[in-house]
């Protein structure tokens, strides 16, 4: 019996191998068929998602690109066009040779060096004024109001500082603003009369917005300066910016008037070197 069983087992062994071989062939054929007939869309979507995630990570790491508004672009274009045109002769259709390109770069550098002094603003009488007339001076730019709790101390302090330092190259540029508590409601003529009653003789400009969509370019510039970004938007009346001789913000101040601190900072700013030729060449 034992020999018969062993013989039968040996006879069935080749048959099992053939069965396994056939099964392997079938599996291979089915796999090959699937590979060449599958829909590649899911794989493509997977790759797209990977690329999107990679771009998102890069954006988060590097940070968003600086936002340049149409208003900023228009201001920069307007302020640089004349100087660049004169330097390069582009309005006459002249070719931009090496010398012209050098002059163009110098013109752009000069306008950048002027900072806020490259802008214009209407004075209290409605006349457009170029702030370039203050180039090389130290200034305080301030948003004033006639009916604020800080009005008396600031008008007194600003006028006293103006009288003390104006002969050394210092000025106060005051911009009335009615955005905080409605505390500058008057007309330009009324504001001018009020300032005169306070003994103010420093330059006074027309009423402006310092926050929001209608922000005046001067205040838009101030809020973009690194030394002015600690608080973002203007928070109340009589916030002040100390401007250096090159038109850049040196320091930002709140609504209160600290006479000793302001005078010390003004004196330090007046000591800074300034080359007028570099700014206007």
Selection from 210, 224, 148 nearest residue 173 by Cα:
210
Q: If DSSP codes are grouped into helix, strand and coil, which group holds residue 218?
A: helix
The confidence score (pLDDT) of residue 227 equals 83
Q: What is the pTM of this model?
A: 0.61
Q: Is 177 a catalytic residue?
A: no
Helix extents (H) in the chain: 2-37, 41-62, 70-88, 98-114, 151-165, 188-197, 217-224, 259-270, 276-280
Q: How many CB atoms lie within 10 A of CB 62?
A: 8
Q: Is residue 145 within 8 Å of residue 151, measured between CB atoms? A: yes
Residue 142, H or E segment: strand 138-144
Q: Is residue 223 within 8 Å of residue 232, measured between CB atoms? A: yes
Given the residues 138, 144, 148, 218, the one annotated as active site: 148
What confidence tens digit (pLDDT) does each residue in 54-110 have?
444 333 333 333 333 444 434 443 443 333 333 223 333 444 454 443 344 434 444
């Amino acid at each position: 019996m034992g020999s018969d069983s062993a013989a039968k087992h040996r006879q069935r062994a080749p048959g099992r191998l053939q069965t396994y071989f056939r099964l392997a062939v079938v599996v291979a054929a089915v796999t090959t068929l699937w590979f060449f007939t599958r829909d590649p869309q899911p794989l493509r979507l997977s790759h797209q998602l990977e690329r999107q995630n990679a771009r998102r990570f890069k954006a988060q790491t590097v940070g968003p690109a600086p936002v340049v508004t149409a208003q900023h672009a228009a201001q920069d274009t307007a302020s640089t066009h004349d100087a660049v045109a004169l330097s390069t002769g582009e309005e006459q259709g002249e070719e931009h040779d090496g010398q012209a390109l050098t002059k163009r770069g110098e013109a752009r550098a000069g306008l950048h060096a002027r900072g806020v002094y490259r802008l214009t603003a209407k004075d209290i009488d409605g006349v457009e004024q170029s702030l370039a007339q203050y180039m090389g001076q130290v200034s305080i730019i301030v948003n004033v109001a006639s009916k604020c709790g800080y009005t008396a101390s600031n008008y007194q302090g600003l006028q006293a500082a103006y009288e003390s330092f104006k002969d050394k190259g210092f000025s106060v540029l005051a911009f009335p603003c009615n955005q905080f508590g409605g505390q500058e409601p008057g007309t330009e003529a009324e504001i001018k009369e009020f300032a005169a009653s306070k003994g103010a003789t420093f330059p006074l400009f027309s009423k402006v917005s310092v926050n929001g969509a209608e922000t005046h370019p001067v205040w838009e510039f101030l809020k973009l300066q690194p030394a002015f970004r600690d608080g973002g938007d203007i928070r109340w009346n009589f916030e002040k910016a100390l401007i250096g001789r090159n038109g850049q913000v040196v320091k930002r101040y709140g609504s209160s008037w600290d006479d000793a601190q302001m005078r010390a900072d003004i004196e330090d700013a007046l000591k800074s070197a300034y080359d007028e030729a570099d700014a206007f060449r």
